[in-house]
């Protein structure tokens, strides 16, 4: 009789250990695409076997053993008894590894993975799945699949795209990595800064979509944001000497700390000035501030994520919106604008200026952005401009801007907030 706890165990083990499993299989086979396929086959076998026969004593080892045995079978089918096959088959017992609830345990000379290599495998896997030869969309899908352990269906639901689209992205990503002969390794020291930037960018993109859903009827996708936090924590353990890794983790923790207060009882969006700060996650704030302190201890100054984390910290420690250190936030946005200039940073600076110096000081900044194409199809600029005009008492102009923002907004919850603002006028 099938045991439902078996399927739950499969899901839990896969979410926690998928990166180690795929990483170890990649090291054994030397083929990233093959390793990912082998891990999926082992997962499929576990979904059949564990509910029926029970969870093995060493679940991750069971999956690795099955994946390794499938690799040997694949090489046999190809009739290639080369060095790869010899290395894989060395000292493996006759008939391969057993499956089922009884864990035979590895033979003394047949260690499934080297405990000292686990972090290196995971780190190499992270750099491989976020390699610069891949598009950002492909890197996100592959990272969530092999590091996060999410299924294609889960990724598709998170980004509101068809499952077939996600599967196609993952397939193309693996083919691209193979065609480019991307080695499964932690990149050389001189290549790491650029490659690390890509890894952190992918994690940041995942969190951004989770914390502010670009479309759909939910203002946040907590599973997606939580997965990005988990990936950032993995990176902070794997690369503890990199300050920007700690800065990204700080930004994610400090931002996520406000999540409990961002939704009302019916799922509606609650703006910052209306949030009950008693509901903010104080543990997450403490973790975020500790991570930011680690980044500061490096003595290199804040980078792209560090400046954003410092802004988030200003909000996290303030008792209320009026008591927030808006002048410091303006300075931090100015620094961020010099480091990584973008219309979005400039728009956020305008909001901070409006809080520190009044809406009249901020409106020229926003007007300067209106002539460009950056916000042509976005609700953000007319939404901010409408709010500034409302505060200045120019209500007819504010109505026009808010109506434009409502037309452009793709998220139903955010559209409802804008509609309430318009109705209040």
pLDDT tens, position by position, for the chain (425 residues)? 456 677 788 888 887 788 888 888 888 888 888 888 888 898 889 888 888 888 888 888 899 889 888 888 877 766 555 555 555 555 554 444 444 434 444 433 444 444 334 457 878 888 888 888 998 889 888 988 888 777 888 788 767 688 999 999 999 999 999 899 888 888 887 887 878 888 898 889 888 878 876 555 566 778 778 888 988 998 898 889 999 999 999 999 999 999 999 988 877 788 898 999 999 999 999 999 999 999 999 888 899 999 999 999 999 999 999 999 999 999 999 999 999 999 999 999 999 999 999 999 999 999 999 877 778 888 999 999 999 999 999 999 999 999 999 998 877 878 888 898 889 88
List all residues 6 or more positions away from 347 whose beta carbon is below 8 Å from its beta carbon.
365, 366, 369, 375, 380, 381, 384
- Domains of the chain and CATH, by start: 4-90 (1.10.1740), 325-424 (1.25.40.10)
What's the pLDDT score for residue 94?
43
* Rounded-to-integer distance, Cα 120 and Cα 114, Å: 10
* Rounded-to-integer distance, Cα 124 and Cα 111, Å: 20
What's the pLDDT score for residue 103?
45
What's the pLDDT score for residue 287?
97
Rounded to 5 degrees, what are φ and ψ at 55? -80, 130
pTM value? 0.73
Spatial CA neighbour of 274 closest among 255, 256, 258, 253: 258
- Decide: 187 and 130 in contact? Cβ < 8 Å: no
CB atoms within 10 A of CB 312: 25
What's the pLDDT score for residue 115?
39
Helix 304-317 and helix 243-256, axial crossing angle in degrees, nearest 10: 30
* Rounded-to-integer distance, Cα 9 and Cα 7, Å: 5
- Decide: 75 and 33 in contact? Cβ < 8 Å: no
Q: What's the DSSP call for residue 263?
A: B
Rounded to 5 degrees, what are φ and ψ at 393? 85, 10
CA angle 222/228/231 to nearest 5° reads 140
What's the pLDDT score for residue 114?
45
CA angle 160/161/167 to nearest 5° reads 135
Distances (CA, A) of 24 to 1, 17, 20, 149: 33, 11, 6, 15
Spatial CA neighbour of 276 closest among 252, 288, 259: 259
């Amino acid at each position: 009789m099938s045991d439902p706890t078996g399927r739950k165990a499969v899901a839990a083990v896969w979410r926690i250990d998928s990166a180690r499993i795929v990483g170890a299989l990649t090291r054994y086979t030397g083929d990233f695409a093959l390793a990912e396929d082998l891990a999926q086959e082992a997962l499929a076998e576990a979904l059949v076997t564990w509910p029926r026969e029970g969870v093995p004593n060493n679940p991750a080892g069971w999956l690795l053993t099955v994946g390794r045995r499938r690799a040997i079978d694949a090489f046999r089918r190809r009739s290639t008894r080369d060095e790869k096959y010899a290395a894989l088959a060395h000292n493996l017992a006759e008939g391969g590894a057993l499956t089922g609830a009884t864990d035979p345990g590895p033979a003394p000379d047949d260690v499934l993975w080297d405990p000292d290599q686990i972090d290196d495998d995971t780190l190499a896997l992270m750099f491989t799945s976020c390699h610069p030869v891949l598009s950002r969309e492909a890197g996100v899908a592959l990272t969530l699949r092999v590091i996060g352990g999410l299924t294609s269906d889960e990724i598709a639901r998170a980004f509101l795209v068809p499952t077939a689209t996600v599967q196609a992205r993952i397939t193309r990503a693996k083919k691209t990595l193979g065609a480019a002969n991307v080695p499964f390794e932690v990149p050389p020291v001189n290549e790491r800064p650029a490659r690390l930037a890509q890894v952190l960018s992918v994690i940041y993109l995942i969190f951004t979509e989770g914390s502010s859903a670009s479309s759909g009827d939910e203002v946040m996708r907590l599973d997606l944001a939580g997965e990005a936090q988990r990936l950032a924590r993995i990176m902070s353990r794997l690369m503890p000497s990199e300050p920007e890794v700690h800065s990204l983790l700080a930004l994610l923790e400090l931002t996520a700390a406000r999540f409990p207060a961002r939704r009302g009882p019916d799922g509606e969006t609650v703006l910052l000035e209306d949030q009950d700060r008693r509901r903010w996650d104080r543990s997450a704030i403490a973790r975020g501030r500790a991570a930011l302190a680690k980044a500061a201890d490096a003595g290199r100054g804040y980078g792209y994520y560090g400046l954003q984390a410092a802004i988030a910290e200003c909000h996290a420690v303030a008792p209320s919106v009026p008591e927030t250190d808006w002048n410091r936030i303006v300075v931090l946005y100015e620094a961020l604008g010099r480091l990584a200039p973008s219309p979005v940073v400039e728009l956020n600076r305008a909001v901070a200026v409006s809080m520190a110096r009044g809406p009249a000081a901020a409106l020229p900044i926003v007007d300067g952005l209106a002539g460009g194409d950056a916000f042509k199809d976005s609700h953000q600029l007319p939404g901010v401009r409408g709010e500034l005009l409302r505060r200045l008492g120019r209500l007819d102009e504010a109505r026009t801007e808010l109506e434009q923002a409502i037309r452009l907004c793709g998220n139903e919850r955010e559209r409802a907030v804008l509609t309430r603002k318009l109705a209040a006028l």
